[in-house]
């Protein structure tokens, strides 16, 4: 029982992080119908930025954890959004009217570029930060197994829920959200109606990057260690989450993330940690075979 609850907590935390990254994939897919393969590396860049920011702040004597965290979040979001904008500007916009394969390849190139750039400028060694929020609460103890809920886990879940709500509001209730949905449905019609399509797409990339930045900061604080290679695995898992939930659907991305987090932690608890990725990707294959549009995705309607 104790172990079950503990794995549930672990799985939800991990799933929240996957979900946040998956949101970025899903938004970009929604608007340009393209998987942004550089997104995992944007997340990695934000984690590195947050380590730099946190280290700088502790050097400057800012030791209050909430203040340091808030500042790190702001800095990471600001810088990472610029990265998101730059990726769109250099790897996507020049190829807007090229064949579908071209931007896909340029995005993979961008991903390799970002990874190598960080490795060369920041070094290959892992970057640790001291534990910022030590401890947590002991929920209960059952047969000698005490269930821990770390402060960082609470933080991750709360931040994710808040962002999800804010985000849904942004998409459904603001004029930017309306423009974005218009571009998603029909780009040329949207531009005829006076929507600046390029700008809307740029903003979408920046928003996706900002969400990845939040995930980056939280992962830095939660695991305490980041390096230039973390983008790849996280990117693939989040991509799987987006597809599982239905690419293009915001609640789908979140649901997919949570499901993958839970599958991973329960599989490694009760079956074998060795095969947890096999389980994750097997489920992905099943979904694609029997429900290609994902759990919450709308089936694609061919426009005539």
Partner 1 sequence: MKAALKKSIIVAGLGLATLLAVPAWADYSVGIAGPMTGEYASAGAQIRNGAEMAVADINAKGGVLGQKIKLEVGDDACDPKQAVSVANAMVNKHIVFMHGHWCSSSTIPASDIYNDAQIPMATVSTNPKVTERGLKNIFRIMGRDDQQGGVGGGFLAEHFGSKKIAVIDDKSAYGKGLADEMAKGLQSKGVKPVLRESITAGEKDYSGIVTKLKAAGVEVVAYGGYHTEVALILRQAQQAGLKLTILGGDTMSNNELVTAAGGDNANNVLFTFAPDSRLEPGAADVVKRFRDKKIEPDGYVLYAYAAMQLFQQAAEKAKSVKYADLQKALANGSFNTVVGTLSFDAKGDLKVPAFRVYQWKGNKYEYFK
Which residues bind to partner 1, rule: CB under 8 A? Answer: 2-3, 6-7, 10, 13-14, 116, 119, 124-126, 128, 130-131, 136, 138, 144-146, 148, 150, 152, 219, 223-225, 227, 229-230, 233-234, 264-265, 267-269, 272-274, 276-277
Closer of 35 and 230 to partner 1 (Cβ): 230
Handedness of CA 286, 291, 297, 301 (dihedral sign): positive
- CA distance to 14, 134, 179, per residue, from 176 (Å): 30, 40, 5
Closer of 146 and 172 to partner 1 (Cβ): 146
SS3 content of the chain, % helix, strand, coil (to 5): 75, 5, 20
Q: What is the DSSP letter of 302?
A: P
Contact 247/25 with Cβ under 8 angstroms? yes
Closer of 28 and 132 to partner 1 (Cβ): 132
Shortest reach from residue 259's CB to partner 1, in Å: 15
Shortest reach from residue 72's CB to partner 1, in Å: 17
Contact 230/119 with Cβ under 8 angstroms? no
Shortest reach from residue 65's CB to partner 1, in Å: 15
Picking from 12, 25, 10, 9, the residue whose alpha carbon sits closest to that of residue 234 is: 25
Shortest reach from residue 178's CB to partner 1, in Å: 37
Closer of 141 and 174 to partner 1 (Cβ): 141
Shortest reach from residue 272's CB to partner 1, in Å: 7
Closer of 247 and 260 to partner 1 (Cβ): 260
Contact 136/151 with Cβ under 8 angstroms? yes
């Amino acid at each position: 029982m104790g172990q079950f609850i503990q794995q549930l907590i672990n799985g939800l935390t991990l799933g929240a992080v996957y979900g946040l990254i998956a949101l970025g994939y899903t938004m970009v897919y929604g608007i340009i119908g393209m998987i942004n393969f550089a997104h995992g590396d944007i997340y990695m860049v934000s984690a590195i930025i947050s380590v730099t920011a946190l280290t700088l702040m502790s050097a400057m004597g800012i030791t209050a954890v909430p203040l340091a965290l808030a500042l790190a979040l702001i800095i990471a979001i600001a810088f990472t959004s610029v990265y998101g904008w730059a990726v769109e500007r250099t790897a996507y916009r020049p190829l807007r009217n090229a064949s579908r394969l071209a931007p896909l390849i340029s995005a993979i190139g961008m991903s390799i570029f970002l990874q190598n750039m960080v490795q060369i400028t920041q070094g290959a060694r892992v970057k640790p930060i001291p534990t910022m929020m030590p401890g947590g609460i002991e929920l209960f103890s059952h047969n000698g197994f005490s269930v821990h809920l770390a402060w960082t886990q609470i933080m991750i879940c709360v931040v994710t829920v808040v962002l999800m709500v804010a985000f849904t509001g942004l998409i459904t209730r603001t004029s930017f959200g309306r423009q974005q949905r218009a571009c998603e449905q029909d780009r040329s019609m949207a531009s005829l109606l006076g929507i600046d399509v390029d700008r809307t797409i740029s903003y979408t990339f920046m928003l996706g990057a900002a969400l990845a930045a939040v995930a980056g900061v939280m992962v830095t604080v939660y695991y305490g260690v980041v390096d230039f290679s973390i983008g790849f695995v996280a990117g693939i898992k989040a991509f799987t989450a987006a597809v599982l939930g239905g690419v293009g659907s915001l609640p789908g991305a979140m649901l997919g993330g949570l499901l993958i987090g839970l599958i991973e932690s329960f599989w490694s608890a009760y079956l074998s940690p060795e095969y947890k990725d096999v389980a994750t990707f097997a489920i992905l294959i099943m979904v694609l075979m029997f429900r290609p549009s994902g759990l919450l995705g709308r089936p694609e309607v061919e426009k005539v």
